[in-house]
Structure 1
Amino acid sequence: MPAVPIGKDPERDQETSTSAADRLVEAAHAEQRTLAQQIAISSAEKVVAEARCRSLLAAQDAAARRLSAARGAARVAGQTDDHDRRAAAHAAVAAAQADFTRVTDAAIEELRGITQAERTRLEGLVEHLRRVWTAREAADIAVPPPDRRD
């Protein structure tokens, strides 16, 4: 029987080392599962954000069409001798311009928020991906994949 140094139990050390390796592997799997969940959530949030962006663009396009129509009506009214009609047309242009500006400014502000939220989501995914890589690396050191075992 080989000599065992005092205070050393090879079977116990192997068991402890295996359970530690198992914990590292499980931690890596848990990080991977969490990342997969975060990716799914992020994908759903992106779909919602893209739909909202399309909605904002449609609202801005509608406001631009109203402004264009008001300007066209003002050009036609400007060719008449009806002062009240010209004044009403110019008032309609001013109102349409104010509406277009309001809609555009609101869309820009909301798009900034959507863009910032997307950036924050992506930064979170990258940070979690780094945690997955770190956990996998620790697990691979503890239990190397078959192609790296001696």
Structure 2
Amino acid sequence: MNKNNDHVNDRAIDEREWQAQERAMREAREGTASTDPMAMRYRRVADALREPLPDLLPPDFAAQVARQAEANATAPVIAEPPADKGFEFNLMRGLLGLLGLGSAVVAAMYGRAWLAPTLELLHLDSNVAVNWALALAACVGASWLTEQLRRRRESAAHAA
């Protein structure tokens, strides 16, 4: 059976460390030198803490921030992304197109196998499902159309 008395030694070490820290702080306030190596180590920490932090901001920092804020407030707002949309954007469009095409092919090939059980599970007949699909298509179409109108209006306002 092992007996671990390390917690007793830890308290003694902690007390010595505490006393060394307090001695270093007191000697730093009084300006006296210490002969204890542990207190001398903490004296360097105490001296560093007594020094003010260096001022890293330039003297005209507030004026620079005010000029930047004024420039940002008067700058025109860019409504559309740049003309060069980049490789990633075109790749994303292509992959989304492939996903849509693949979904349409899978729905055409296996639609009868899963459409009837799904409608039965939801307690819907085919007329209700068609009505919901038409309502969804109308909502998506209306959202797309209003976005196109908003973009045209903004581009006309920026052109004027």
TM-score, normalised with respect to structure 1: 0.30
Decide which structure has the larger Cα Rg and report it. Answer: 2
Greater share of helix: 1
| TM-score under structure 2 length normalisation | 0.29
